[in-house]
Amino acid sequence: MRGKELLQQAFALKETDRTPWVPFVGVHAASLLGVTAEEYLKSDKLIVEGVSKAIELYNPDGIPIVFDLQLEAECMGCGLVWADENPPSVHSHPLMEGVELKDLKIPTINDGRIPVVLEATRQLRAKYPDLALYGLITGPFTLGLHLLGTEIFMKMFMDEQYVHDLMAFCTRVCNTMTDYYKSAGCDVVAVVDPMTSQIGPDQFEQFVTQYCTEVFAHIKAQEMYSSFFVCGQAQHNIEVMCACKPDNISIDENIPLEYVKDICLKNGISFGGNLLLTVALLMGTTEDCERNAVDCMDIGGNKGFILAPGCDLAYSTPKENLLAITNLITDDYRRDVVRALEAKVTNVTPIDKAVYGSSPKVIMDVICSRL
């Protein structure tokens, strides 16, 4: 069993005969083709070729069409800065530049790069009927920050109604994008809202819960599965994320997988993650990636768990590292070998992710590589 059927079992909290595998291939697919991120994200032809190449190599059960949290914002007037090896970043915010909230328009199916992404979705749906396709939408809080900038945090104290009005608008955008992905053939809509990690549970319940709950209810009404993606140290918000009633919560390496498993299963929600994006997948050896994957699979178990990177894969992630994980998933013997080898290693102290983000001081990690 593989593909959509296997993921459906995981979403439904049924035991699976093996761990479902969903590599979050974003602009890493551009590297597989030898093109820049900008060229890739502006071409439905290249997106189809890149995702197809990733499917051919990594044999996933599900895969995103694109991983671009600026898609909707660009359509509504946010200026973007493009890079060769990263998705674009937002550098201007219309609501800080004189545009009124009432004048913002929900993107149509013909605006910006939406037609590019939807055409790629339709082609990939026809090409891979048994694979679960993920349509990613920018979560309402992160989209609100794109539109308003960091002023949103001040507005949360000084003008609560404005933030609620903004969140209601962003929710309508999310629901509209869900409809677009449904019509193009997606099976799963992932609400990617990384900036919620910057607020506490009280602020989440005040400004996010009702809107994300509406988004997940709308996804369910479209007979699709939903996932709530969050990046960063968001452990404090896992409970309130569950209260929004997604089918799945996917987290990165900043949050202990054991913790997320306990909270999600208690709430009847599947969970995914949290392969180490940088120290293992990007900069580690194939053996590092195998050990990390086995650790995740052993913790996650065979009920409700989906193996995935902590967020979208870096452009230059070595394909050998991802191939090592791909091969491991269906090779019981190799997993036993990895466990046996790890048991013999006595001079390596594992990272204690349970304390991540708990320091009273700001900690900056600087990772350097030789040119």
**Terminal-residue alpha carbon distance, the chain:** 43
Other CB atoms closer than 10 Å to residue 225's CB: what's the count?
A: 24
| DSSP secondary structure of 115-182 | HHHHHHHHHHHHH-TTSEEEEEEE-HHHHHHHHHTTHHHHHHHH-HHHHHHHHHHHHHHHHHHHHHHH
Query: 4-355, what's its fold?
Result: TIM Barrel (3.20.20)
Q: What is the pLDDT along the chain (371 residues), one digit of tens a residue?
A: 678 999 999 999 999 999 999 999 999 999 999 999 999 999 999 999 999 999 999 999 999 999 999 999 999 999 999 999 999 999 999 999 999 999 999 999 999 999 999 999 999 999 999 999 999 999 999 999 999 999 999 999 999 999 999 999 999 999 999 999 999 999 999 999 989 888 999 999 999 999 999 999 999 999 999 999 988 788 899 999 999 999 999 998 888 999 999 999 999 999 998 899 999 999 999 999 999 999 999 999 999 999 999 889 999 999 999 999 999 999 999 999 999 988 876 555 454 454 445 555 544 454 444 33
User: Do strands 270-275 and 62-64 pair parallel, antiparallel, or not at all (unpaired)?
Assistant: unpaired
Contact 257, 226 (CB under 8 A): no
Contact between 135 and 186 (Cβ < 8 Å) = yes
Residue 175 CB neighbours (<10 A): 20
Q: Is the pTM of this model over 0.75?
A: yes
